[in-house]
Amino acid sequence: MLQHLGASAALVLMAAGDFGQMGITLWLNRTGRIIKVNSSAKEDTQTVPDTVVLPNSEVTQSSAAAPHSERHIAMRTVDDNGFSHLTKGILTLGLIMFVFDFSAYLIRPFFSEYWIYATAHKDQTLAGLIFAIPGLAAVVALIVKHRLNEKAMRRNENLSWNLLLSLVGLYLQSVPSDIAIVIGRCMYGWGLFQVAVKLEVSLFSISRKEDYAHHFSITNFFQNLGVLISSWCAGYIVSLVSHQAVFLIAAAGIALTWLANKLTLDLDHIKPAAAEPDSNINRRSEIELESGNV
């Protein structure tokens, strides 16, 4: 694109893509394919169960200390630092997203330059195609995901496995071999898609329905902050060390993401707190319905 049309055309196409997303969103909204979170301003928030997700140890302590009828109230209590369990969970998820997005996007700014530097292929168009492999892998992963049964889908969505896949993919890309880089891009793209979806969906397990928009803005801030800082750090690392060091540091960041998740939320095993028996709100069903309609 840049080689044949120039930067101006690329910027125009980017703007056109944004308008395209706006059009798709408006169409989904008008056709009822988007589930409304707060459909009425008069909705009584007391009817929404406080299904806050807590680390396993905190859930056990809360369950032992309070009867079922008082458990939701206990989950909304504030600790000594002024943070509720809900806020701590969202901030923890935001930090995990920050580390992951920082690591995932660290290799992007200089990848095309690295491909030309590490291989004998000097064609800019080919470099662009290699750069786009993770996006193509994500499309394939999405198609495969909709063809899996429930058991296979749970295995496919395992956060630890997909983080490992991304880590190995990043390491392979640091090897100055065109075959290793292509295989690494495929693994990296598949794992990146699965982890990104897992983290996004986890927000709906941790948050409450009436807080979705507010909590999404918090996690989105951490995600964009990670992308912003990674762009600055990538240039600094390349100028200070080498192109290959960027991939190794990104792989270390993925490992840190796995460790942070295991020590805090452990999203592969996290479960929402028990809802009231008469509750008619099922977040998982709503998410699946929305995905199916789209």
The pLDDT, as a whole number, for residue 73 is 35
Residue 151 sits in the same domain as residue 13: no
Residue 60 sits in the same domain as residue 165: yes
Number of domains in the chain: 2
Domain, as residue range, for 4:
1-34
Residue 167 sits in the same domain as residue 86: yes
Q: List the end-to-end C-alpha distance of the chain, in Å, as a whole number.
A: 30
Give 26-53 pLDDT, tens digit per residue: 998 888 876 665 554 444 444 444 444 4
Give 126-184 pLDDT, tens digit per residue: 998 999 999 999 999 999 988 888 888 888 889 999 999 999 999 999 999 999 999 99
Residue 17 sits in the same domain as residue 97: no
The pLDDT, as a whole number, for residue 35 is 61
Burial class (CB in 10 A: 0-12, 13-18, 19+), 227: middle
CATH for 268: 1.20.1250.20
DSSP bridge partners of 236 = none
- Residue 47 within a domain: no
The gap from C-alpha 241 to its chain's centroid, in whole angstroms, comes to: 29
Cα 75 from Cα 281, distance rounded (Å): 18
Number of H helices, E strands in the chain: 13, 0
> Pick the residue with more confidence: 70 or 260?
260
Mean pLDDT of the chain: 79
With pLDDT > 70 as the criterion, what percentage of the chain qualifies?
Answer: 73
Cα 195 from Cα 191, distance rounded (Å): 6
State the alpha helices, DSSP H only, in 106-211.
Answer: 111-118, 124-131, 133-145, 150-156, 159-173, 178-206
The pLDDT, as a whole number, for residue 149 is 82
Residue 179 sits in the same domain as residue 224: yes
Count of CB atoms within 10 A of residue 3's CB? Answer: 10
pLDDT band for 276, please (50, 70, 90 cuts): very low
pLDDT band for 3, please (50, 70, 90 cuts): low
Residue 75 sits in the same domain as residue 101: yes
With 0.75 as the threshold, say if the pTM is over it: no
115: nearest Cα among 102, 134, 128 = 128
